[in-house]
Structure 1
Amino acid sequence: MRKTLLFTALALASGLVLAQPAAPADREAMRAEWRAKAEARFAEADKNGDGKLDKAEAAGHAPRLAENFDRIDANADGGIDKEELAQMRAKMHHGRRGMHARRTFHQGLFLGMDDDRNGAISRAELGDKVPKLAENFAAIDKDGNGELSHEEFRAHRQEMRAKRQAARAK
């Protein structure tokens, strides 16, 4: 019995050790490998070896890069260098993190207002919890059933985001 218990404890302890995340040295090695691969991809795409990708090189290497060429080319010199690519990746990473946080917040907000857990928010459930939603309840309730579905709530958020982006673009 003691041996079984001892072996079980050792097996569990070794499993916990194996389940630990990669050590910082391993993580750095993985990052170095990723950087080397990225350098190789950039060098492969940079056909003329000038350290920049022009539109033709971008189109030949990655169509999505070519589609967004003007947005990525921050200094508008007709070429994308490694620094501009790094800035683009940083923006994308930051944007995803922000989008996830907002989506999670709004999902929690919706669930918090849905008191009867039927998947929709009635005017009574909304009450005065979110005054702007209460003011615009009829406009948000597209099907006119007196409840805001998750889809209506999401569509309203997207509409508001589009209006904010349009206002910023002016």
Structure 2
Amino acid sequence: MRKIEILLLSFSCLGFLMFILNYPFGSIILILSLLSLSSIYFFLGFWLFHHHRFGLIFNKKSSFAKVIGRIATGIGISIVILGIMFKLFRWPFANQNLMIGLCFCTLIMILSLIMFIAKKDIFYKTIAIRTVFYVLIGLLLLLLPSYTFIKIKYRDYPKYIEVVKKLEADPNNILLQQEEEKEYNKMKSRQ
């Protein structure tokens, strides 16, 4: 892993802990680190998975399939990271983002594992390790209900959690939306 990637993953973990423990700026750190990580994978994935300096990326030794594989891996991981962020913050279309990214990454993971077994190339091992990591995290979050982190973050406010659960079951109910907003404001005024 590259140093920037490790640094952004560390900031993401720190932001997640601060977010869950309800510390100030936790959500900002989490959003900025996940968006930065997603952007690096999306725009620089072709370089991140290459083991040479930037100028040698498109040399004659580099096969067209490997270049396309690096680009596809970067895009797939980027979509999964965005889905993770959407799920943590209960934003719309989180599950759809996760499913699209997971399908993409699972396909890349299977192909890279097959190619690694066949050729024993470190390139395919690197791709497989990263995709397995993000597929496991994405799959875990896809299977969890979206209010799971609300239960942890606002464990001292059971009334708010109950309203959120009801709202999840019936998201178009205007009365529940208003009740959730009212409970949220009560909770924030007590903090």
Normalised to the residue count of structure 2, the TM-score between the two structures is 0.21
Higher helix proportion (structure 1 or 2): 2
Structure with higher RCO (Cα < 8 A, 6+ apart): 2
Q: Name the larger-Rg structure.
A: 1
Normalised to the residue count of structure 1, the TM-score between the two structures is 0.24
